[in-house]
Amino acid sequence: MWTFVHKLGSPKWSYAICGRLQPFFWVAALILLPIGTVWSLAISPPDYQMGDSYRIIYVHVPSAILAQSVFVAMALASAVFLIWKIKVADMAASVMAPFGAAMTALGLFSGSLWGVPTWGTWWTWDARLTSMLIQLFLYIGVIALRGAFGRGDQGAKAVAVLTLVGVVNIPIIKYSVVWWNTLHQPATFSLTERPAMPASMWMPLLVMVLGFYALFIALTLYRLRNELIRRESRARWVQALAD
């Protein structure tokens, strides 16, 4: 176990293992996403209530799931960084943040697009959309704090603490927003809390979710390799790589 943790901590080894794993996830993403897209847009049946407009959930749901998963992944990486002082974990957290923010923004955008045919407005203070908006601010806070410190150990630690504080707060925020929502609005029908979907509808959704995950992992590995090279540019193994 310990040698494994230590190996993970070695930038050179991480670089190699990222390179080895990367192709699998790229291939998975490139297979799953087109299949999911075609399946969900063309093959699955239209909804009896919402017609074709419901199809936006095939983007909205995966991006919403990723928005949360990425933050949890960042928090795990931050904890590893703070406890074992493994720099690679911090680099991983730092390359994940923009992707997570992008997914949150995509979730918000698709949610508001969906609002037009359903609620007749671009924005409604639906519990899910509201907590997503707050999530976006959490991402922006993490990215801004890293930006304010610049590159360096101090900023990395500060961002890790903030990420952990954020991840503790996410369930509290979600709960409070749901509480607030029931206080102010009669339950409208929401994007995802719907009666059981037939398999012909949720199967493509599952494919899309898996595709998004594959894309996330592939991109993270790819960007982590770049980050490793940039931060370790003076190390011998990087010099050797360049030659």
Partner 1 sequence: MSANSGGSTTGRGEEIGLWAGCVAQVRRELKIARRRGGDLVNPLMFLALVVVLFPLGISPEPDLLASVAPGLLWVAALLAMLLSLDGLFRGDHEDGSLEQMLLSPLPLPVLCLAKVVVHWLLTGLPLALCAPLLGVLLALPGAGYLALMLSLALGTATLSLIGAIGAALTVGLPRGGVLLSLLVLPLYIPVLIFGAGAVKAAIEGGMAGPALALLGALLALALAAAPFAIAGGLRISVNG
Partner 2 sequence: MAVKVSLRASRLACERDDRWLFRALDLRVEDGDILRIEGANGSGKTTLLKLLTGQLPPTEGRIEWHGEPLARSREAFLSQLLYVGHAPGVSAALTAQENLAWAAAMAGVRAPVPDLERALEAVGLAGFEDIPARQLSAGQRRRIALARLELVPRPLWILDEPFTAIDREGVAWLERRLVAHGDAGGAVVMTTHHTFHANGRVDSLLLGEAA
Binding site for partner 2 (CB under 8 A): 85, 151-153, 231-232, 234
* Minimal distance, residue 198 CB to partner 1, in Å: 36
Read off φ and ψ for residue 209, nearest 5 degrees: -60, -45
Tokens of 183: 């206080």
* Minimal distance, residue 140 CB to partner 1, in Å: 7
* Minimal distance, residue 234 CB to partner 2, in Å: 7
Residue 122 touches which of partner 2, partner 1, none (Cβ within 5-8 Å per kind): none
- Whichever of 117 and 152 has its CB closer to partner 1, that residue is 152
- Whichever of 103 and 138 has its CB closer to partner 1, that residue is 138
Task: Give the burial class of 206: count Cβ atoms within 10 A of its Cβ; 0-12 exposed, 13-18 middle, 19 or more buried.
Answer: middle
Q: Do residues 95 and 220 lie in contact, with contact meaning Cβ atoms separated by under 8 Å?
A: yes
Residue 234 touches which of partner 2, partner 1, none (Cβ within 5-8 Å per kind): partner 2
Q: Map 123-170 to HEC letters.
A: CCCCHHHHHHHHHHHHHHHHHHHHHHHCCCHHHHHHHHHHHHHHHHHH
Cα–Cα distance for residue pair 56/114, rounded to 1 Å: 7
Cα–Cα distance for residue pair 92/30, rounded to 1 Å: 22
- Whichever of 169 and 190 has its CB closer to partner 1, that residue is 169
The residues that bridge with 47 in the sheet, in sequence order, are 51
Residue 79 touches which of partner 1, partner 2, none (Cβ within 5-8 Å per kind): none
- Whichever of 38 and 165 has its CB closer to partner 1, that residue is 165
Residue 157 touches which of partner 2, partner 1, none (Cβ within 5-8 Å per kind): partner 1
- Whichever of 52 and 153 has its CB closer to partner 2, that residue is 153
Read off φ and ψ for residue 10, nearest 5 degrees: -80, 120
Cα–Cα distance for residue pair 138/189, rounded to 1 Å: 27
* Minimal distance, residue 230 CB to partner 2, in Å: 10
Q: Given the rule CB under 8 A, which residues bind partner 1? A: 134, 137-138, 140-141, 144-145, 148-149, 152-154, 157-158, 161-162, 164-166, 168-169, 172-173, 175-177, 179-180, 183
- Whichever of 12 and 231 has its CB closer to partner 2, that residue is 231
* Minimal distance, residue 86 CB to partner 2, in Å: 12
Residue 42 touches which of partner 1, partner 2, none (Cβ within 5-8 Å per kind): none
Place of tokens 């974990």: 89
Using the 8-state DSSP alphabet, how is residue 197 labeled?
Answer: -
The residues that bridge with 51 in the sheet, in sequence order, are 47
* Minimal distance, residue 142 CB to partner 1, in Å: 8
